[in-house]
Amino acid sequence: MAIDHVWPEIESGRFPIKRVAGDTVVVEADVFADGHDALACALRYRHERERRWTEVPMAFLSNDRWRASFAVDRLGRYHYTITAWPDRFMTWRLDFAKWLAAGQDVGTQLAIAAALVTAAAARARGADRTALHAAAAHLAAEDRQAAVAQATADDLAALMARYADRDMATTYDRELAVVVDRVRARFSAWYELFPRSTSPVAGRHGTFADVDAHLPYVAGMGFDVVYFPPIHPIGRTHRKGKNNNPRAAADEPGSPWAIGAAEGGHDAVHPALGTLEDFRALVARARDLGLDVALDLAFQCSPDHPYVRDHPEWFRRRPDGSIQFAENPPKKYEDIYPLDFSTDAWPALWDELARVVQFWIDQGVRMFRVDNPHTKPFAFWRWLLDRVRDRHPDVVFLSEAFTRPNIMYRLAALGFAQSYTYFAWRTTRSELTDYFTELTQSPVREYFRPNLWPNTPDILTAYLVDGGRPAFLIRFILAATLGASYGIYGPAFELCEATPLQRGKEEYLNSEKYALRHWDLAQPHSLRTLITRVNAIRRAHPALQADAGLRFHRTDNDQILAYSKATPDRGDVVLVIVSLDPQWPQAGWTDLSVDALGVDARQAFAVHDLLTGARYRWQGARNFVRLDPAESPGHIFHVRREPRP
């Protein structure tokens, strides 16, 4: 007997798939054997904290393909596999039906059935054993009509399936796994802010109390996660000044990613921000507002970090004996020392970094954005993420790895719950369609959860620079509806900050990475109202809370992108139509896949623009749209079938 092409299965079971609590895992496989015996299959699953397997019968689809599903309602890891066996009673039953249809004498066949049922009774217990013995007696009785009725009874078939003879059973040669996260790992809206720039007084260093006062603004826009760049003491040696000047003035704060000073390292907070007690109070306040606090994990050090003094063996040396600072030619980061993961002292280094993560978990943090994970060993991440998940299955890690696709996918497979993507640089219809089809329709969808960011402190794209406020509108609508998870670096994004340090560079002028900023949140061109509306739409519509239901639709204008998201039962369907041109009005005809929308091409259906409140009556695939970036560059339609007259 063969069990092949099991799905979902990632690299022969080397890595787990991912789901969130409340999801259903649908499993399929090809199951077949030599000969003509009927087969039976069962999907077996158990949570990692359980020893006993639960079985679900698999249903035959066609052409040797079988399917079953199970629900995952606990955080952590589930295991699943498949077992199959020749079903002797079902084989007999199918043949018996043919004997009856042919009008043949079935006495011998009934005797065979009685023997099979008697054997099953020996495997049963309690009332089921009694029922099977009674059935065997009926099959052997002289009343042929009653015996035939018993032989063809569905309740007997169900009992025989429950106590099938599995002496010839085959079990798939590996146990597969599914990691179950909390829902926020699949559906979340992130807002990045620098705590030091939250002071209401220009030029004054912000504090955790200032952040606390800022939280209602973030929560009021409907975000789920407020993410802070590093909040640790900042080194003074080779401190960078404004606009990445290699020489900082005495009063300049330096880069938060140059972690560590006399005041402490990765388990300390910058004294100007406050105390650990202040931080814990901030985390609690955020939680009361429905926000998770996410911290940046940047495993690197300033030259002043205590590790440099206490553990010089954790750093790489140049030929002259000095410690190697970070470089990304032609860029130089003299204020940062990378940790050397190839050191002979790696066990102590790994343990210390795990201690740092646990320290912040103890302070109430349950989400981490990890800086440049692709510059650290895969083995380290698998060890660390498994260790944390075993103890704290509710912790979520976001991978910030802008590198080659295979590396990004491998980090996700190793355990990162979410991942940054190339979204910021995908701007044309073909680029967006191809990329998001790959992310949502290829096997990577089973473990790679995209988190879409139109900007970051390091990324100010030419599209945003050249397109003005309409470009920000477009990219926001795309990020928030193409992805179940997205993030913005604010307030720079909602205030449409788009002045580059230098033309052709993605660096901001007067970047917040090197200087305090003071933001006027009441500016009239702010996107705050739109952001609040779209986040409310996301929360109201389950279709936007997952990525698997994404489908693209054709239009006759390359500047117009159309796509829909739907729940599996088509109970909620959202259709998004966006102009990709931030400068000129665009118009065109759609060519919608009515099947993806769950509507009848012959009937009218209603589309309700969730952004403006406008309602339209459409029919069939072809419908006309016109989008003006000066007014609104996109529609977010709720699609509803109209009742038949």
Residues acting as catalytic residues: 371, 400
CA distance 46 to 555: 46
CA dihedral for 211, 216, 218, 223, sign (positive or negative): positive
Report the alpha-carbon distance of residue 121 to residue 128 in Å, rounded: 8
- What's the chain's Rg over C-alpha atoms? 30
Q: How far apart are CA 181 and CA 76, in angstroms?
A: 7
One DSSP character per residue, 470-518 reads HHHHHHHHHHHHH-SEEEEETTTTTTT---BSSTT--PBTT-TTTS---
Strands, E assignment, 94-246: 170-171, 176-181, 188-192, 225-228
In angstroms, rounded to a whole number, what is the distance separating the alpha carbons of residues 585 and 559?
10
Sign of CA dihedral 126, 129, 130, 132: positive
Determine contact, residues 170/384, Cβ cutoff 8 Å: no
* 63 three-state secondary structure: coil
The first and second tokens of residue 294, run together, are 């996410």
Instruction: Let me know the angle formed at the C-alpha of 53 by 49 and 55, rounded to the nearest 5 degrees.
Output: 140
Give the separation between CA 172 and CA 80, rounded to whole angstroms.
10
Residue 213 contacts residue 201 (beta carbons within 8 Å): no
User: CA end-to-end span of the chain, whole Å?
Assistant: 54
Contact between 367 and 184 (Cβ < 8 Å) = yes
For the chain, the 3-state helix, strand and coil shares in percent, each to the nearest 5, are 35, 25, 40
